[in-house]
Protein backbone atom coordinates (compact mmCIF):
# COMPACT_ATOMS: atom_id res chain seq x y z
CA UNK A 1 0.00 0.00 0.00
CA UNK A 2 1.34 3.43 -0.89
CA UNK A 3 1.70 5.67 2.11
CA UNK A 4 1.42 9.09 0.49
CA UNK A 5 -2.16 8.80 -0.72
CA UNK A 6 -4.65 6.07 -0.12
CA UNK A 7 -7.77 4.93 -1.85
CA UNK A 8 -9.33 4.48 1.56
CA UNK A 9 -12.92 5.38 0.96
CA UNK A 10 -13.81 2.94 -1.78
CA UNK A 11 -14.42 3.50 -5.46
CA UNK A 12 -15.52 6.96 -6.53
CA UNK A 13 -14.89 8.77 -3.29
CA UNK A 14 -11.36 9.84 -4.21
CA UNK A 15 -8.16 9.26 -2.32
CA UNK A 16 -7.27 10.37 1.16
CA UNK A 17 -4.37 12.80 1.10
CA UNK A 18 -2.10 13.76 3.95
CA UNK A 19 -0.80 17.26 4.45
CA UNK A 20 1.26 19.16 6.97
CA UNK A 21 -0.61 21.70 9.06
CA UNK A 22 -4.29 22.10 9.86
CA UNK A 23 -6.09 23.91 7.01
CA UNK A 24 -7.55 27.30 7.96
CA UNK A 25 -11.22 26.92 8.84
CA UNK A 26 -10.86 23.28 9.99
CA UNK A 27 -10.34 24.14 13.68
CA UNK A 28 -13.89 23.26 14.77
CA UNK A 29 -13.83 19.95 12.89
CA UNK A 30 -10.40 19.13 14.39
CA UNK A 31 -11.72 19.86 17.88
CA UNK A 32 -14.76 17.63 17.24
CA UNK A 33 -12.53 14.77 16.09
CA UNK A 34 -10.37 15.18 19.19
CA UNK A 35 -13.39 15.32 21.45
CA UNK A 36 -14.92 12.22 19.87
CA UNK A 37 -11.63 10.37 20.34
CA UNK A 38 -10.49 11.71 23.71
CA UNK A 39 -13.64 13.08 25.36
CA UNK A 40 -13.72 10.26 27.93
CA UNK A 41 -10.18 11.13 29.01
CA UNK A 42 -10.48 14.92 28.77
CA UNK A 43 -14.06 15.19 30.02
CA UNK A 44 -13.32 15.74 33.72
CA UNK A 45 -10.99 18.59 32.77
CA UNK A 46 -12.96 20.22 29.95
CA UNK A 47 -16.66 19.22 30.22
CA UNK A 48 -19.33 20.12 29.27
CA UNK A 49 -18.78 19.28 25.57
CA UNK A 50 -20.49 22.53 24.53
CA UNK A 51 -17.67 24.39 26.23
CA UNK A 52 -14.86 21.92 25.57
CA UNK A 53 -15.05 21.77 21.77
CA UNK A 54 -14.92 25.57 21.22
CA UNK A 55 -12.17 25.79 23.86
CA UNK A 56 -10.04 23.19 22.07
CA UNK A 57 -10.76 24.81 18.68
CA UNK A 58 -9.70 28.23 19.95
CA UNK A 59 -6.35 27.00 21.29
CA UNK A 60 -4.84 25.01 18.45
CA UNK A 61 -1.44 25.59 16.84
CA UNK A 62 -2.14 24.58 13.23
CA UNK A 63 1.53 24.10 12.37
CA UNK A 64 1.87 21.24 14.84
CA UNK A 65 -0.41 18.72 13.13
CA UNK A 66 -0.51 16.47 10.11
CA UNK A 67 -3.95 16.03 8.58
CA UNK A 68 -5.80 13.53 6.43
CA UNK A 69 -8.33 14.95 3.98
CA UNK A 70 -10.96 13.23 1.86
CA UNK A 71 -12.56 15.46 -0.77
CA UNK A 72 -11.46 18.47 1.30
CA UNK A 73 -13.02 17.11 4.52
CA UNK A 74 -10.80 16.59 7.54
CA UNK A 75 -11.00 12.86 8.35
CA UNK A 76 -8.03 12.48 10.65
CA UNK A 77 -5.19 14.30 12.32
CA UNK A 78 -2.14 13.74 14.45
CA UNK A 79 -0.87 16.50 16.71
CA UNK A 80 2.71 16.70 17.88
CA UNK A 81 5.01 18.71 20.11
CA UNK A 82 8.32 19.98 18.94
CA UNK A 83 10.42 23.09 19.47
CA UNK A 84 8.44 24.13 22.55
CA UNK A 85 5.10 24.11 20.72
CA UNK A 86 2.23 21.62 20.91
CA UNK A 87 -0.86 21.29 18.73
CA UNK A 88 -3.33 21.74 21.59
CA UNK A 89 -3.45 23.63 24.84
CA UNK A 90 -3.94 27.23 25.80
CA UNK A 91 -2.28 29.11 28.63
CA UNK A 92 -3.49 28.48 32.18
CA UNK A 93 -5.13 31.89 32.14
CA UNK A 94 -7.33 30.85 29.21
CA UNK A 95 -8.65 27.85 31.20
CA UNK A 96 -9.43 30.07 34.16
CA UNK A 97 -11.10 32.61 31.90
CA UNK A 98 -13.25 29.99 30.17
CA UNK A 99 -14.23 27.99 33.26
CA UNK A 100 -13.97 30.53 36.09
CA UNK A 101 -11.16 30.89 38.59
CA UNK A 102 -12.56 28.52 41.18
CA UNK A 103 -13.72 25.78 38.82
CA UNK A 104 -10.75 26.28 36.54
CA UNK A 105 -8.18 25.41 39.15
CA UNK A 106 -8.86 21.69 39.50
CA UNK A 107 -9.20 21.51 35.71
CA UNK A 108 -5.69 22.89 35.41
CA UNK A 109 -4.45 20.18 37.75
CA UNK A 110 -6.15 17.49 35.66
CA UNK A 111 -4.74 18.93 32.42
CA UNK A 112 -1.28 18.91 34.01
CA UNK A 113 -1.59 15.10 34.24
CA UNK A 114 -1.55 14.95 30.44
CA UNK A 115 1.38 17.32 30.06
CA UNK A 116 4.22 15.60 28.16
CA UNK A 117 7.32 17.58 27.34
CA UNK A 118 9.77 16.23 24.77
CA UNK A 119 13.31 15.49 25.93
CA UNK A 120 16.09 16.88 23.72
CA UNK A 121 16.03 15.13 20.34
CA UNK A 122 12.46 13.90 20.80
CA UNK A 123 9.26 14.72 19.01
CA UNK A 124 6.15 13.85 21.04
CA UNK A 125 3.11 12.66 19.13
CA UNK A 126 0.29 13.62 21.45
CA UNK A 127 -3.06 12.92 19.88
CA UNK A 128 -3.99 10.95 16.79
CA UNK A 129 -7.65 10.67 15.84
CA UNK A 130 -9.42 9.34 12.76
CA UNK A 131 -13.08 9.90 12.02
CA UNK A 132 -15.01 6.80 13.24
CA UNK A 133 -16.41 6.09 9.76
CA UNK A 134 -12.87 6.02 8.33
CA UNK A 135 -11.08 3.84 10.88
CA UNK A 136 -9.36 0.60 9.98
CA UNK A 137 -8.54 1.70 6.41
CA UNK A 138 -4.95 2.82 6.84
CA UNK A 139 -5.51 6.53 7.55
CA UNK A 140 -3.94 6.33 11.02
CA UNK A 141 -0.88 4.61 9.53
CA UNK A 142 -0.54 7.37 6.92
CA UNK A 143 -0.63 10.00 9.64
CA UNK A 144 1.98 8.21 11.74
CA UNK A 145 4.34 7.95 8.77
CA UNK A 146 3.91 11.67 8.07
CA UNK A 147 4.80 12.46 11.68
CA UNK A 148 7.88 10.28 11.22
CA UNK A 149 8.76 12.30 8.12
CA UNK A 150 8.45 15.54 10.13
CA UNK A 151 10.67 14.11 12.89
CA UNK A 152 13.24 13.02 10.31
CA UNK A 153 13.35 16.48 8.74
CA UNK A 154 13.68 18.06 12.18
CA UNK A 155 16.61 15.68 12.81
CA UNK A 156 14.97 14.18 15.87
CA UNK A 157 16.45 11.06 17.42
CA UNK A 158 13.11 9.48 18.30
CA UNK A 159 9.34 9.88 18.49
CA UNK A 160 7.61 9.37 21.80
CA UNK A 161 3.96 8.76 22.55
CA UNK A 162 1.79 7.54 25.40
CA UNK A 163 -0.97 4.99 25.13
CA UNK A 164 -3.46 4.08 27.86
CA UNK A 165 -4.16 0.52 28.96
CA UNK A 166 -7.76 0.63 27.72
CA UNK A 167 -6.62 1.14 24.11
CA UNK A 168 -4.91 -2.12 23.10
CA UNK A 169 -5.81 -1.69 19.41
CA UNK A 170 -4.02 1.65 19.23
CA UNK A 171 -1.03 0.05 20.95
CA UNK A 172 -1.06 -2.80 18.43
CA UNK A 173 -1.07 -0.25 15.62
CA UNK A 174 1.92 1.58 17.13
CA UNK A 175 3.82 -1.70 17.51
CA UNK A 176 3.17 -2.52 13.85
CA UNK A 177 4.56 0.90 12.93
CA UNK A 178 7.82 0.35 14.79
CA UNK A 179 7.14 1.70 18.30
CA UNK A 180 8.29 -0.26 21.34
CA UNK A 181 7.14 0.13 24.94
CA UNK A 182 9.79 1.62 27.20
CA UNK A 183 7.89 1.98 30.49
CA UNK A 184 4.45 1.75 32.03
CA UNK A 185 3.22 4.05 34.76
CA UNK A 186 0.39 2.59 36.81
CA UNK A 187 -2.26 5.09 37.88
CA UNK A 188 -5.03 3.00 39.53
CA UNK A 189 -6.31 6.13 41.32
CA UNK A 190 -7.25 7.60 37.93
CA UNK A 191 -9.33 4.64 36.75
CA UNK A 192 -12.63 5.89 38.15
CA UNK A 193 -12.04 9.50 37.22
CA UNK A 194 -10.45 9.20 33.77
CA UNK A 195 -11.23 5.60 32.76
CA UNK A 196 -7.68 4.20 32.59
CA UNK A 197 -5.31 2.70 35.13
CA UNK A 198 -1.94 2.72 33.35
CA UNK A 199 -0.06 4.68 30.71
CA UNK A 200 2.63 3.11 28.54
CA UNK A 201 5.31 5.26 26.93
CA UNK A 202 6.50 4.06 23.54
CA UNK A 203 9.45 5.13 21.37
CA UNK A 204 10.26 4.80 17.71
CA UNK A 205 13.77 5.64 16.56
CA UNK A 206 14.10 8.09 13.69
CA UNK A 207 16.78 7.69 11.04
CA UNK A 208 18.89 10.76 10.41
CA UNK A 209 18.48 12.40 7.03
CA UNK A 210 20.80 11.23 4.29
CA UNK A 211 23.82 13.55 4.24
CA UNK A 212 22.88 15.12 7.60
C1 LIG B 1 -6.16 4.71 16.70
C2 LIG B 1 -6.63 5.30 15.38
C3 LIG B 1 -6.04 6.70 15.21
C4 LIG B 1 -6.14 4.42 14.26
O5 LIG B 1 -6.52 4.99 13.03
P6 LIG B 1 -6.96 4.03 11.81
O7 LIG B 1 -7.12 4.89 10.63
O8 LIG B 1 -8.10 3.22 12.24
O9 LIG B 1 -5.63 3.15 11.69
P10 LIG B 1 -5.22 2.15 10.51
O11 LIG B 1 -6.38 1.88 9.63
O12 LIG B 1 -3.94 2.62 9.90
O13 LIG B 1 -4.88 0.86 11.32
C14 LIG B 1 -5.93 0.08 11.87
C15 LIG B 1 -5.51 -0.39 13.21
O16 LIG B 1 -5.68 0.68 14.14
C17 LIG B 1 -5.99 0.14 15.39
N18 LIG B 1 -7.26 0.67 15.91
C19 LIG B 1 -7.39 1.23 17.12
N20 LIG B 1 -8.65 1.58 17.33
C21 LIG B 1 -9.36 1.25 16.23
C22 LIG B 1 -10.74 1.38 15.84
N23 LIG B 1 -11.65 1.92 16.67
N24 LIG B 1 -11.12 0.94 14.62
C25 LIG B 1 -10.21 0.41 13.76
N26 LIG B 1 -8.91 0.27 14.08
C27 LIG B 1 -8.48 0.69 15.30
C28 LIG B 1 -6.03 -1.35 15.23
O29 LIG B 1 -4.75 -1.87 15.56
C30 LIG B 1 -6.32 -1.53 13.77
O31 LIG B 1 -5.86 -2.74 13.32
P32 LIG B 1 -6.78 -4.04 13.50
O33 LIG B 1 -8.01 -3.74 12.69
O34 LIG B 1 -5.94 -5.12 12.96
O35 LIG B 1 -7.06 -4.16 14.95
C36 LIG B 1 -8.19 5.40 15.30
O37 LIG B 1 -8.73 4.14 15.49
C38 LIG B 1 -8.80 6.38 16.30
O39 LIG B 1 -8.99 7.55 16.00
N40 LIG B 1 -9.11 5.89 17.51
C41 LIG B 1 -9.66 6.76 18.54
C42 LIG B 1 -8.60 7.68 19.09
C43 LIG B 1 -7.42 6.92 19.67
O44 LIG B 1 -7.59 5.90 20.32
N45 LIG B 1 -6.21 7.48 19.44
C46 LIG B 1 -4.98 6.90 19.94
C47 LIG B 1 -4.70 7.38 21.31
S48 LIG B 1 -3.15 6.73 21.93
pLDDT at position 2: 44
Residue 203 has pLDDT above 90, yes or no: yes
CATH class of this structure's domain 5-157: alpha beta
Quickly count helices (H) and strands (E) in the chain: 7, 8
- Residue 100 pLDDT class (50, 70, 90 cuts): confident
Residues 77 and 31 sit within 8 Å (Cβ to Cβ)? no
- Residue 94 pLDDT class (50, 70, 90 cuts): confident
pLDDT tens digit string along 35-80?
A: 999 998 888 888 899 999 999 999 999 999 999 999 999 999 999 9
pLDDT at position 1: 44
Task: Tell me the β-bridge partners of 201.
Answer: 162, 183
pLDDT, mean of residues 139-167: 96
Find out whether the beta carbon of 194 lies less than 6 Å from any atom of ligand 1. no
pLDDT tens digit string along 7-33?
A: 665 554 459 999 999 999 999 999 999
Find out whether the beta carbon of 140 lies less than 6 Å from any atom of ligand 1. yes
Q: In three state form, how does the secondary structure of 161-187 look? A: EEEECCCHHHHHHHHHCCCEEEEEEEC
pTM of structure: 0.90
Indicate the top mutation candidate among 5, 30, 165, 169 to test ligand 1's pocket, ranked by most ligand atoms within 8 A of CB: 169
| Dist CA 171 CA 136 (whole Å) | 14
So where are the chain's domains?
Answer: 5-157
Average pLDDT, the chain: 89
- Residue 7 is given by DSSP the state -
Amino acid sequence: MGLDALDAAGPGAGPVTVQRGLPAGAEQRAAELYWEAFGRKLGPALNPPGKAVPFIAAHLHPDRAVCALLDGRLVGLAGYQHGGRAFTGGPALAVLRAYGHLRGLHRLLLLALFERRPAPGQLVMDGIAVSPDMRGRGVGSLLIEEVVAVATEQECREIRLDVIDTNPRARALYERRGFTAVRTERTPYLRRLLGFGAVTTMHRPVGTRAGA
